[in-house]
Amino acid sequence: MEYIIKIKKEKRNLFKDKWVWKMAYRDARKNFSRLFLFISSIIIGIAALVSINSFNINLQRSINEQAKDLLGADLVVNANTRFEEDLQTIFDSIPGQQATEATTASMAMFMTSTPGTRLIRIVALEGDFPFYGDLVTSPEGAYEVMKTGPYAMVDENLASHYDVSSEDSIRLGNMVFKVAGEVSKIPGGGGIQATFTPSVYISMDYLDSTGLVQFGSRVSYKQYFKIDSEEAVETAVSQVKPLVKKYGHSSETVEDRKNNLGEGFENLYRFFNLLAFVALILGCIGVASSVHIYVREKREMVAVMRCIGTSGWQAFNIFFVQTVILGIIGSILGVLLGLGIQFALPPLLKEFIPLDLDLQIAWSAVLEAIILGLMISLLFSVLPLVAVRFVPPLSVLRTNYEPLRTFSKVRVLVIVLIILFPLAFATYQSGSFMVGGAFFGALLLAFGCLALVANLLMKAVKKFFPRNWSFIWRQSLANLFRPNNQTLVLVVVIGLGAFLIATLNIVQNSLLNQVEFVGRENQSNTILFDIQPQQKEGVIRLTRDNDLPVQQVVPIITCRLSQVAGKTISEIQNDTTDAIPNWAITREYRVTYRDTLTASETMQQGAVQHISNDSIYVTISSGMQENLEVDVGDSIIFDIQGVPVTTYIGGVRDVEWPKDPPNFIFVFPTGVLEEAPQIFVLTTRIDEKVEANSYQRELVSLFPNVSLIDLRLVLATIDEFFDKVSFIIQFMALFSIITGLVVLAGAVINSKYLRLKENVLLRTIGAVKKQIWGMTILEYGYLGFFAAFTGISLSVISGWALSIYFFEVVFLPDIMSLLLIWGGVMVLTILVGWFNTRDVISRSPLEVLRKEG
Amino acid sequence: MSDILVVENLKKSFTTGDKTLTVLDDVSFSVPEGASISIVGPSGSGKTTLLGLCAGLDVSTGGSVSLVGIKLNALSEDDRAYVRNQYVGFIFQNFQLLPTLTALENVTVPLELRGEKQYKKKALDLLDRVGLSDRAYHYPSQLSGGEQQRVAMARAFISSPKILFADEPTGNLDEETANRVTELLFDINRSEGTTLVLVTHNLDLAAHTERILQLKGGKLISDQKSMRAV
């Protein structure tokens, strides 16, 4: 008999080869738990992406829809002084409705069931503001009542704090106002501003009667316009713009508000994008790592299938179909989780976003995420899956048989695509190749640093190996550098997680410690301002009578700039080559005079302010020196209440602004401004709350126009603010951390197969379970220890850079928190390691030896 | 009767660094269709390597293997897989069932791979023949060692292979189970007219075949009829 056969050369088509699909199903039904790591990596990565992208889309849509409601008008002109006559004339010529608002800070005395005094913002309104958006009050008609007489409306937080009811009264300056109601929503109000400076609203008719608007008082004004058409708005803007610029005021249209809000959220977008990027990249590592483990487990099965006639591509396709389908399922689950999280975000961000977030499902984000999920599951699973094609059938007979071949064009192509993927994704997500490239670069840098440290660590452990340690300690430490070690992968993955957490922690602590440090160290914690000259002695006496120290009494003179370095303000404004910001040359400056430096000042250049040869040498703060582009010796002419005063820059001061306020941009020498109209600021220190309350009550009664800032209250508010911010940051960082843990579990499972035979051999030659446990825990302990150490060390560098260069605060990491993170990561690594290797340790040695033999 | 397996001057060596280890050296023999042979020899003599080469699981360094008239050396791995699927059956010491498939599915896989549609009845008949009709829907982990090996036998015979390669088929079984499996193996083999190539340490098992090839140090040192054949 002749056995002549024709080999079928046609390639099996995945879509026509039903057997592959059947086998993919059969294999997956008993194996679903094995693919848990794979699917969870996709779910978390995609959930992060969907929640963040969908939230961003909704936020942008809300900004576009609500910008007009938030502004409350079509055009607003803002000023820190009363509007000049020529500007007022232009206002009068603009058609449509107008409203005016004046805002000033003042003490309010609440004559309620919970009486008290506190610094608030008085908002005096005239006209029918708001023209757009809602002014929501309780009771409903409170605003109308307020317009009719000496009535006040109170922000709802303030009202609830002092138990304000409609029967109560509030004293503002010399006047007592009856409470008309509470304000729960007003265009331009609410948000974080309401937390720092809660408002009390009155009619403009009664602002002067309060006596709060005196010489030196800081009052800002807004003129609101309701204009019928967009063309008319443009005309109005072109009419007011020249004078607005000339006087250093500002204007805002609905379009400006949209842009401003968009810019305001830019950092939030960037931060969220960074988190999405990190979570997704970790997810990709998770996918590759889990499929790698899966393929390793399937090696024997593939060898059997190859023996009975399955082709390499058929074997590959079985697992490829599984990963693609699971990728789609994972993406859909990730989308659902992401949308769920998106709906959880607004309550967290409520206080930071002055918008009513109307959340909808952003289908573009959903579609993007599913496509991306599919791409990731394809790209990052193909690389480990290619190995399936090269599983030799002979490994059925010999487990350690080498793969058929290792080079494959598919593998090379996939590696190239995998390298390009993060760059392409970051570019797409950020919408800019530069930003995307920066993200990609930063990721490479972080990975590179971690990989470098991991390699150095292995070399160092090998070189300085403690040969006199006991066997268990030595054996587990040696696992860090022996063949098939997982040190590099684990240090990179765990280190990256620790790096992210620790960096956030350092930045948060530096910001908080800065505030706390200043609060603790300052000689004064209470500042009284707007003291008129005739009130000065009275306020000092009152302070001393209350047994409180008078730390400083500082004169303040308001002035403007007329000329800078020989150029008039209009010359600077018209010089297009000049980069001096308009606000810096048109703003009102509050200056003081003295011949010494305070504790918060140090000279950077030149000399302390002085008079020499009848010339006046002032000093300037270093920040403003950069803005005004002036140097020591340059002249500056001030307009002090209409009197020009020529001075020269005598020196530049570095000022620690939060320390011992008040601090000043310009300081004059004595002997120049003593006769100029001035007001005073007094600083003192109050340590007891009871003292503070009685002192404040007396102050408001005797000197109603004098305001008091309690720095402890400010400190508490800032503290509360940071607590909320850090909660949001930690909530979002959870994505990266959870994905990191999944990847960590993958890496640990990956390593357990390498340790399996060794543990069994050790047990065969007499090691007891306890010793094996000891070695396992120590090995993962070492890995956690070194990985967290590396991540935290790098985070100290990044935290330092962020604190100094980005947030411009003193770098003050909390060592205890960092130690806790270090310990926490170590414990977590040990737990994950123990959980994933427990079955290896409990397996019978004979079972493994037979299999391997 | 034509030879179904022809091995000529077969050589297999492995190179590690600058050292070359020859596992099989100049082995030649042939097996007529329907015959049964055993390959015996001490550990490291090259038995398993020879089986792997004859079955097309590996390629030789020198010489040739001709299986069902096809020179295996000239084929790619996927082409050899096709030859295995069409003409070869396997039984392994560790049973090597696919753990995620039921006993019935394990048996049907070779026919499914061929693209055949009617395989379920044939598989159930074979499972019945090996005494496992009531275990058809059990997974390998739910079967004993003897039961797993019987499922492996059903899988090996379902595609009516021209040649069956068995690597220590009773090596992982207790004596009583081993005897039953041996009996069943030769019983089905005879009735199906399949050529059998058996690799074993067990001379009693080898004695069941018609010829015994003895390997030592990678060389074929004897090729004799077994006592039973005599």
**Contact between chains at A1 and B2 (C-beta distance less than 8 A):** yes
Residue B203 to chain A, least CA–CA distance (Å): 20
pLDDT value at A190 more than 70: no
Confidence band of B136 (pLDDT split at 50, 70, 90): very high
Which ipTM did the prediction report?
0.84
Residue bearing the bigger pLDDT, A275 or B109: B109
The enclosing domain of B153 has a CATH number of 3.40.50.300
Q: Do A490 and A587 belong to one domain?
A: no
Q: Tell how far CA A620 is from the center of its chain.
A: 32
Structural domains in chain B (count): 1
Structural domains in chain A (count): 4
Which residues from B are below 8 Å from A304, CB to CB? 96-98
Considering CB atoms only, which of A26, A304, A310 is closest to B113?
Answer: A310
Q: Do A504 and A636 belong to one domain?
A: no
Q: Which of A180, A196, A221 is the last residue of a domain?
A: A221
Q: Is residue B230 part of a domain?
A: no
pLDDT value at A480 more than 60: yes
In chain B, positions 59-88, which contact chain A (CB-CB < 8 Å)? 68-70, 75, 77-79, 81-87
Q: Do A378 and A475 belong to one domain?
A: no
Considering CB atoms only, which of A5, A8, A397 is closest to B70?
Answer: A5
- Among chain A, residues having any CB pair with chain B shorter than 8 Å are 1-5, 7-8, 19, 22-23, 26-31, 300-301, 304-314, 392-394, 396-398, 404, 850-851
Q: Which of A31, A299, A300, A308 to mutate to test the interface with B (most CBs of B within 10 A)?
A: A308
Q: How do strand A97-111 and strand A169-172 relate by DSSP bridges?
A: antiparallel
Q: Which of B16, B82, B159 to mutate to test the interface with A (most CBs of A within 10 A)?
A: B82
pLDDT value at A104 more than 50: yes
Rounded CA-CA distance A405/A412 in Å is 14
pLDDT at A514: 61
Domain limits at B159? 3-225
The residues, any chain, with a CB within 8 Å of residue A653's CB and separated by 6 or more, are A597, A601, A602, A603, A604, A619, A620, A621, A622, A667
Residue A841 to chain B, least CA–CA distance (Å): 20
**Contact between chains at B2 and A394 (C-beta distance less than 8 A):** no
Q: Do A720 and A850 belong to one domain?
A: yes
| 3-state SS class at B22 | strand
**Contact between chains at B99 and A301 (C-beta distance less than 8 A):** yes
Q: Which of B77, B91, B116 to mutate to test the interface with A (most CBs of A within 10 A)?
A: B77
**Closest residue, chain B, to A28 (C-alpha):** B100
**Contact between chains at A309 and B77 (C-beta distance less than 8 A):** no
Confidence band of A664 (pLDDT split at 50, 70, 90): very high
pLDDT at A477: 85
**Contact between chains at B84 and A305 (C-beta distance less than 8 A):** no
Q: Do A664 and A762 belong to one domain?
A: no
Q: Do A281 and A425 belong to one domain?
A: yes
pLDDT at A2: 46
pLDDT at A852: 46
Percent of chain B with pLDDT over 90: 40
Closest by CA to A773, choosing from A763, A765, A783, A764, is A763
Percent of chain B with pLDDT over 70: 98
Q: What is the dihedral of CA B141, B142, B147, B152, to 10 degrees?
A: -40
Confidence band of A1 (pLDDT split at 50, 70, 90): very low
Q: Do A285 and A200 belong to one domain?
A: no
> A797: phi > 0 → left, psi -120 to 50 → alpha, else beta; which?
alpha
Residue bearing the bigger pLDDT, A322 or A701: A322
**Closest residue, chain B, to A24 (C-alpha):** B100
Which residues from B are below 8 Å from A30, CB to CB? 99-100, 139
**Contact between chains at B101 and A27 (C-beta distance less than 8 A):** yes
**Contact between chains at B57 and A392 (C-beta distance less than 8 A):** yes
As given in the structure block, the two tokens for residue A536 are 């000065």
pLDDT at A639: 92
Residue A269 to chain B, least CA–CA distance (Å): 46
Taking the Cβ of residue B223 and every Cβ of chain A, the question of whether any pair is shorter than 8 Å is answered with: no
Contact assessment for residue A216 and residue A680, using Cβ atoms and an 8 Å cutoff: no
Contact assessment for residue A676 and residue A638, using Cβ atoms and an 8 Å cutoff: no
Q: pLDDT tens for residues A670-680?
A: 999 998 889 89
**Contact between chains at A393 and B81 (C-beta distance less than 8 A):** yes
Q: Is residue A648 part of a domain?
A: yes
Q: Do A514 and A557 belong to one domain?
A: no
Closest by CA to A127, choosing from A248, A222, A267, A242, is A222
Rounded CA-CA distance A673/A659 in Å is 25
**Contact between chains at B86 and A300 (C-beta distance less than 8 A):** no
Contact assessment for residue B165 and residue B88, using Cβ atoms and an 8 Å cutoff: yes
Considering CB atoms only, which of A23, A301, A310 is closest to B81?
Answer: A310
Rounded CA-CA distance A689/A515 in Å is 20
Return the minimum-mean-pLDDT range out of A184-198, A283-297, A616-630: A184-198
Residue B108 to chain A, least CA–CA distance (Å): 11
Q: Do A291 and A427 belong to one domain?
A: yes
Q: pLDDT tens for residues A147-156?
A: 999 999 998 8
- To which residue do tokens 């008949």 refer? B125
Q: pLDDT tens for residues A198-245?
A: 889 999 999 988 888 877 678 899 999 999 888 888 999 999 888 888
Q: pLDDT tens for residues A360-409?
A: 888 888 998 888 888 888 888 888 888 888 888 887 777 666 665 666 78
Q: Do A510 and A411 belong to one domain?
A: no
Q: Is residue A503 part of a domain?
A: yes
Q: Do A280 and A370 belong to one domain?
A: yes
Q: Is residue B171 part of a domain?
A: yes
Residue bearing the bigger pLDDT, A260 or A466: A466
Contact assessment for residue A387 and residue A291, using Cβ atoms and an 8 Å cutoff: no
Which residues from A are below 8 Å from B90, CB to CB? 307-308, 396
**Closest residue, chain B, to A22 (C-alpha):** B112
What is the pTM for the complete model shown?
Answer: 0.68
**Contact between chains at B57 and A29 (C-beta distance less than 8 A):** no
**Contact between chains at A3 and B85 (C-beta distance less than 8 A):** no
**Closest residue, chain B, to A1 (C-alpha):** B2
Q: Which of B96, B104, B120 to mutate to test the interface with A (most CBs of A within 10 A)?
A: B96
What average pLDDT does the segment B91-99 reach?
A: 87
pLDDT at A465: 85
DSSP A13: P
What average pLDDT does the segment B155-183 reach?
A: 88
Q: Is residue B135 part of a domain?
A: yes
pLDDT at A449: 85
Q: Is residue B25 part of a domain?
A: yes
**Contact between chains at A5 and B81 (C-beta distance less than 8 A):** no
Q: Do A278 and A335 belong to one domain?
A: yes
**Contact between chains at B58 and A308 (C-beta distance less than 8 A):** no
Name the average pLDDT for chain A: 82
pLDDT at A513: 66
Domain limits at A757? 463-521+711-853
Contact assessment for residue A331 and residue A373, using Cβ atoms and an 8 Å cutoff: yes
Which residues from A are below 8 Å from B108, CB to CB? none
pLDDT at A799: 84
- To which residue do tokens 């002032």 refer? A618
Contact assessment for residue A99 and residue A262, using Cβ atoms and an 8 Å cutoff: no
Confidence band of A177 (pLDDT split at 50, 70, 90): very high
pLDDT at A402: 60
**Closest residue, chain B, to A5 (C-alpha):** B70
pLDDT at A419: 84
Q: Is residue A74 part of a domain?
A: no
pLDDT value at B59 more than 80: yes
**Closest residue, chain A, to B199 (C-alpha):** A397
In chain B, positions 102-161, which contact chain A (CB-CB < 8 Å)? 105, 109-110, 112-115, 139, 155
> How many beta-carbon pairs below 8 A join chains A and B?
107
Closest by CA to A556, choosing from A590, A527, A507, A524, is A590
Residue A311 to chain B, least CA–CA distance (Å): 5
Q: pLDDT tens for residues A425-461?
A: 888 877 788 878 887 887 788 788 888 888 888 888 8
- To which residue do tokens 């989780």 refer? A337
Confidence band of A853 (pLDDT split at 50, 70, 90): very low
What average pLDDT does the segment A498-502 reach?
A: 79
Residue B57 to chain A, least CA–CA distance (Å): 5
Please return the burial class of A106, using the count of CB atoms within 10 Å of its CB with bins 0-12, 13-18 and 19+: buried
**Closest residue, chain A, to B155 (C-alpha):** A308
Confidence band of A354 (pLDDT split at 50, 70, 90): low
Four-residue CA torsion sign, B154, B160, B161, B164 = positive
